[in-house]
A and B are shown apart, each in its own frame.
Chain A
Amino acid sequence: MANSWVTTVDHKRLGMMYIAYALVFLVIGGIEATIMRIQLIAPHQTFVSPQVFNRLFTMHGTTMIFFVAMPLLFGFANYLIPLMIGARDTAFPRLNALSFWLTAFGGLLLYFSVLGASGLYGAGNAPDVGWFAYAPLTSTTFSRGHSTDFWTLSLLVSGVGSIGTAINLIATIVCLRCQGMTLGKMPLFAWLILVMAGMVLLAVSPLTAAQIMLLVDRYLGGHFFDTQAGGSATIWMHFFWIFGHPEVYVLVLPAFGFASEIIPVFSRKAIFGYPVMVGATVCIGFIGMSVWAHHMFTVGMTSHANMFFVLSTMAIAVPTGIKSFNWLATMWGGTIAFTTPMLFCVAFLFQFLVAGLTGVMLSAAPLDWQLGNSYFVVAHFHYVIVGGILFTTFGAFYFWFPKATGRMYSEALGRLHFWLFVIGFHLTFDFMHLPGLLGMPRRIYTYEADRGWATWNLIVTIGVVFQAVSILVFLFNLVRSYRSGALAGSDPWDAWTLEWSTASPPPAYNFAVLPSVKSRRPLWDLKHPEDPDWRYE
């Protein structure tokens, strides 16, 4: 029985493996954050040394992005896409499995560095160069031992896995849609995954390239980033952010996808403006490849270069805002039920609005000259990733849990999770903006008492307690409901996309008979034969 999970090529199992893997690392990344917040609860604490703190923020960032967010979202995509498009599996099931195992191995490789330590074959400690590993701090001069190499190699390996998954998802969506499901009739989630996968192809490769260059520098005596030999430190930044910025869109697009599936069902209305949502997504995909140097406003680019990136970054706020308005319009005139998934998505709408606005603030380059590299930025991106992406992902967990397990989760525990997490999230990340506005930079293991940052840091740390407890409630709910939750049936939410037409959990072959569709909401057409969608689309 256990063997079949190890050798499986079934997209549903691989999806759940990705998700389980991500949850383990979510806890680990959360512990790393908690230790940092304890260290920063007051000035001049000595809970951890500066060396350990610097490793913690490096590992926390790298873990959360590459071994929590990516696998979580790839996991959901893997699980849902074939079901949503009426296929039996992805286009390349074995590539799917290979990609999972590569990603998983990457994470283990990163954490092996913790055990490495100087004594064990001189392998070196956990990396401490920050998740963006700026040159020349990563050169052999400043980064002795192999800790940086663990960072590089683990991401190279999992990067190959990401590209494999992206290829698989694109081929699946392009080639395996069931009869009648044109690109314009597939669930919006599938569009978001399609664009996300395209961005992975174009964005992960530059990181791979830069990391190969770093290895050439560190092992073959190359000079790509060797400032002593005339090399450039900023070129690493360009290459990294050409990956790094699209990467955050890679993370947020599936989150948008979750919202686009959940909000309509619990508002009892079709998504408002499907074609515009598709167009906005594609726009975000394209513009998102052109904004990267807004992470570099302080490196001394020319005024014209700065202005270009101000414009492209502000421009991307337009399609992103359009999406928010479309979700709002979906709810408008509906009859909204505040189930746990919907609670998370409604919170997402508020929080993503704030995240977007703080992003616009940072896009005004001179303001970034003050707020860049400060806790304002840390607050902003956690608002996007936690307040935006993690919230909708929790919504997705609750929404599709009945489908994947055949059982209902506890709604009471779900609400408890939601409220605890909302309180904790806002205590931590609302107040985190303030030290940034008051001059607190990032990546500092301690701070002076006379700066006026202490009170806010205290509140920020207190929020962690609520978040930690809420995660425990969440995990407990998952496990207990899996074992003894009420039977859910195939369509507990009265929803409209194809995954709800098959059993819960779906059989290995997904559908007894491959479906054929006429509109974007095939189950709505079945349930409302007098007023089917295809009359209006």
Chain B
Amino acid sequence: MTKGRVAMYCLIAAEAAMFTIFVVAYLFYAGKSVGGPTSQVLHTPIFFSICLLSSSLTIHRAVQSWKRGRMRSFAGWWLVTIGLGAAFLAGTALEWRDLIYAKGLTIQTNLFGTTYYALVGLHAVHVTAGLVALAVVSALACLGYVHTEHADRGEVLSLYWHFVDAVWVVVFTVVYVIGR
């Protein structure tokens, strides 16, 4: 139990508490909008969710390679992870463009709009922050600063990434399965 690991678990606990509140707000207000589009206007983002969730597998592969000193394999899988995460964000952007322009749903429209964009948006912000961190590692790796002995730190970072994916499982279930 290294201090980095402990710290990351603590951060995850705090973030989980924050996401819980947004989920509670979403569920509490489900069906209570006075007017405007409802959750029926949502299209379930299956493809992009698969992208994000498989990125957990790819980052795991990357870290395994990193631990074994197979740095090229690590760098490759790491980049794939970033790509999958970026694809997910692109999917969110496409989804939101459709919702805003075609369906007329913004954060101001009604309770559904407010709680939906806040919850999905908060998650997207966390994905973005994760991608930035992953990109920084990629850049450092390119510059030759990353070695096997750093693998443990990479694993700690991957814990954050797994958390972000786990949150998506919850958000997906709440928004696209239960909430409809």
**Residues of chain A at the chain B interface (Cβ within 8 Å):** 91-92, 163, 166-168, 170-172, 174-176, 197-198, 201-206, 208-210, 212-213, 216-217, 220-224, 229-232, 235, 239, 242
Contacts and interface: CB of A to CB of B under 8 A. Distances in A.
Contact of B15 (A92, A205, A230): A205
A163 B113 CA distance: 30
A163 B28 contact: no
A288 to B, nearest CB: 14
SS of B interface (majority):
helix
Contact of A202 (B13, B107, B111, B122): B13
B18 A206 contact: yes
B110 interface: yes
A120 to B, nearest CB: 29
Given A91-B3, A92-B3, A167-B7, A209 B32 contact: no
A170 B114 contact: no
Given A91-B7, A210-B21, A229-B34, 11 more contacts: A171-B7, A201-B14, A206-B20, A216-B107, A216-B114, A216-B118, A221-B108, A224-B114, A230-B32, A230-B34, A230-B110
Interface in B2-25: 2-3, 6-7, 10-11, 13-15, 17-22, 25
Contacts of B25: 213, 224, 235, 239
Contact of B107 (A220, A231, A235): A220
Contacts of B2: 175
Q: Which 6 A-B pairs have the closest CB atoms?
A: A221-B108, A209-B21, A205-B17, A205-B18, A222-B114, A91-B3
A197 B115 CA distance: 30
Contacts of B10: 166-167, 170-171, 197, 201
A176 B19 CA distance: 30
A224 B115 contact: yes
Interface of B: 1-3, 6-7, 10-11, 13-15, 17-22, 25, 28-29, 32-34, 106-108, 110-111, 113-115, 118, 122
Given A175-B3, A202-B13, A235-B28, A223 B111 contact: yes
B18 A208 contact: yes
Contacts of B3: 91-92, 171-172, 174-176
Contacts of A197: 10
A175 B156 CA distance: 15
Query: Which of A170, A203, A209 has most B Cβ within 10 Å?
Result: A209
Contact of A220 (B15, B108, B122): B108
Given A167-B7, A216-B118, A205 B108 contact: no
Contact of B110 (A166, A167, A209, A229): A229
Contacts of A91: 3, 6-7
A176 B108 CA distance: 49
A274 B143 CA distance: 53
A204 B110 contact: no
8 contacts: A92-B3, A168-B7, A201-B10, A202-B13, A205-B17, A209-B22, A229-B110, A232-B29
Given A175-B6, A202-B14, A230 B111 contact: yes
Contacts of B6: 91, 170-171, 174-175
Contacts of B110: 223, 229-230
A303 to B, nearest CB: 21
Contact of A163 (B1, B14, B21, B114): B14
Nearest to B34: A230
Contacts of A167: 7, 10-11, 14
Contacts of A170: 6-7, 10
A321 B154 CA distance: 46
Contact of B33 (A220, A222, A230, A242): A230
A205 B21 contact: yes
A222 B107 CA distance: 6
A229 B111 contact: yes
A221 B14 contact: no
B121 to A, nearest CB: 9
A432 B110 CA distance: 45
Contacts of A203: 17
Contacts of A231: 29, 111
Contacts of A223: 108, 110-111, 113-114
B76 to A, nearest CB: 31
A487 B28 CA distance: 62
A222 B18 CA distance: 18
Contacts of A209: 17-19, 21-22
Nearest to A238: B24
A213 B119 CA distance: 10
